[in-house]
Amino acid sequence: MDTEEQAAHGIGEEESNMQITMTQIFQSIQASTCLLAQDAISSESFGLNTLMRHLTAVTIFSLVGIIVLGICIYLFDRIVPFSFRKEILEDQNTALGIIVAAVLLGMSIIIAAAIQG
């Protein structure tokens, strides 16, 4: 659009420049996404062997993470001077429940980061 057409449509120079800039941004994002997708497809074959290898790794690391988290829960139960299960279940101690949940979430994040490498 030239300047006269922009003025007729009520589009200012700044709005026109912003539209051009946004169009360029979207085009560059689309181009980079296509390049990344082509790279991913060409660098790894998507066969049954690859799928089974990845599923095996996920299963093993999930089991390791669950076992380590279970050990952490057991140690946490032994370290605190009271039974947190009794406090949460029988005494309905909501604050302790929130703290235990935060500790377990923190341990889970640490275990996940350690497994991921």
Rounded to 10 deg, the angle between the 48-79 and 94-116 helix axes is 140
Instruction: Tokens for 3, please give them.
Output: 């300047």
Q: What is the mean pLDDT of residues 41-69?
A: 80
Is residue 72 within 8 Å of 112, Cβ to Cβ?
Answer: no
> What would the two tokens of residue 54 be?
């990845």
**Using 50, 70 and 90 to split pLDDT, how confident is the model at 95?**
very high
Q: pLDDT averaged over the chain?
A: 75
Token reading at 116: 């991921």
* Non-local CB neighbours of 111 within 8 Å, separated by 6+ positions: 65, 68, 69, 72
**Using CA atoms, how far apart are residues 2 and 81, in angstroms rounded to an integer?**
78
Mean pLDDT of 28-56: 69
Query: Which is more confidently placed, 6 or 38?
Result: 38
Least confident of 33-37, 55-59, 86-90: 33-37
Residue 32 confidence (pLDDT): 66
